[in-house]
C-alpha cells in the first residue's frame, strides 16, 4: 500500500490583511448605500449588515459613521486617481495622449464602479469638502493641458465633474464612456480659446 500524501495546512492570512479586507468591504458597502439612499439614510445598522460585519468589528476599524464616510471618500478618490495614473504610464506618449488616456481611465472607472463614483460625485462635498477639493486638484493635474494653471485647470475639472454628476442624476443607466467625445472637445476648447470663452461655450 502506498503512503498517504500529507496535506499541507492552508497558510494563515495575516491579521492586517484580514482587517484591510474588512475595511474595504465596509467602504464598498458604505459608498453603495450612501449612493442609493443618501448620507442621512445610510444608517450604521444598514452599513454593517450590507458589509456582513459585526458592529464591534466596524468600531475596531472606524471611529464612527462620519469617519467611515470620510475614509471612503478618500479611498474612492485614490482608486480613481491610481487608475488614471496607470493608464498614462502604460500607454501615453506626449501630453495630449496622456490627457486622453486619463479621461479614458476616469470614464472607465465610473462605468465599472458606478456606486463608488456616484457616491464620490454626489456626496463628496458634503462628506468632507477639503478632501474632495484636494482630490479635484490632483485630478486636474492629470486632465488639464500641461501649461494650464488655475483657474483654467479648476474649470476643466469642475466642468467634467458637473457633466458626470448630471449623468448620475439624470441618466445613471447610460454608459458614461459615451460622454468621452463631448468631454474631449470641452478640454480641447481650453487650448483653442481663453478660459472665459470656453466656459461660455
Q: Read off the pTM.
A: 0.84
Sequence-distant (≥ 6) Cβ neighbours of residue 151 within 8 angstroms: 195
pLDDT at 197 > cutoff 70: no
| φ, ψ dihedrals at 113, nearest 5° | -130, 65
Which of the four pLDDT bands, split at 50, 70 and 90, describes residue 74? very high
Q: Are 54 and 22 in contact (CB under 8 A)?
A: no
Mean pLDDT (whole number) for 73-91: 91
d(C-alpha 104, C-alpha 94), whole Å: 15
Sequence-distant (≥ 6) Cβ neighbours of residue 34 within 8 angstroms: 41, 42, 69, 72, 119, 123
Which of the four pLDDT bands, split at 50, 70 and 90, describes residue 199? very low
Q: Where are the domains of the chain?
A: 66-200
* Residues listed for the chain: 201
d(C-alpha 123, C-alpha 129), whole Å: 10
Q: Where is average pLDDT lowest: 35-49, 137-151, 183-197?
A: 183-197
Mean pLDDT (whole number) for 57-80: 96
Range among 10-19, 172-181, 190-199 rated most confident: 172-181
Cell of 18: 484580514
Question: In terms of Cα–Cα distance, which of 142, 172, 140 is closest to 153?
Answer: 140
Which of the four pLDDT bands, split at 50, 70 and 90, describes residue 107? very high
pLDDT at 61 > cutoff 90: yes
Mean pLDDT (whole number) for 50-67: 96
DSSP 179: G
Between 124 and 5, name the one with better pLDDT.
124
What rounded mean pLDDT belongs to the chain?
86
Between 38 and 6, name the one with better pLDDT.
38
d(C-alpha 127, C-alpha 68), whole Å: 10
Q: Helix, strand, or coil here: 77?
A: helix
User: What's the pLDDT score for residue 150?
Assistant: 66
pLDDT at 145 > cutoff 70: no
Which of the four pLDDT bands, split at 50, 70 and 90, describes residue 89? confident
Amino acid at each position: 500500500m502506498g503512503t498517504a500524501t500529507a496535506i499541507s495546512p492552508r497558510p494563515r492570512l495575516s491579521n492586517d490583511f484580514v482587517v484591510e479586507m474588512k475595511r474595504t468591504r465596509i467602504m464598498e458597502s458604505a459608498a453603495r448605500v450612501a449612493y442609493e439612499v443618501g448620507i442621512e439614510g445610510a444608517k450604521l445598522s444598514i452599513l454593517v449588515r450590507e458589509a456582513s460585519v459585526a458592529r464591534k468589528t466596524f468600531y475596531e476599524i472606524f471611529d464612527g459613521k462620519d469617519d467611515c464616510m470620510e475614509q471612503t471618500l478618500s479611498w474612492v478618490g485614490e482608486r480613481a486617481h491610481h487608475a488614471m495614473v496607470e493608464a498614462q504610464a502604460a500607454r501615453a506618449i506626449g501630453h495630449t495622449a496622456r490627457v486622453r488616456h486619463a479621461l479614458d481611465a476616469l470614464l472607465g472607472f465610473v462605468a465599472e464602479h458606478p456606486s463608488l463614483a456616484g457616491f464620490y460625485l454626489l456626496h463628496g462635498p458634503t462628506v468632507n469638502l477639503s478632501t474632495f477639493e484636494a482630490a479635484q486638484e490632483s485630478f486636474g493635474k492629470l486632465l488639464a493641458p500641461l501649461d494650464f494653471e488655475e483657474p483654467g485647470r479648476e474649470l476643466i475639472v469642475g466642468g467634467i465633474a458637473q457633466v458626470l454628476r448630471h449623468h448620475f442624476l439624470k441618466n445613471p443607466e447610460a454608459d458614461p464612456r459615451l460622454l468621452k467625445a463631448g468631454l474631449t472637445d470641452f478640454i480641447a476648447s481650453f487650448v483653442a480659446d481663453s478660459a472665459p470663452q470656453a466656459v461660455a461655450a
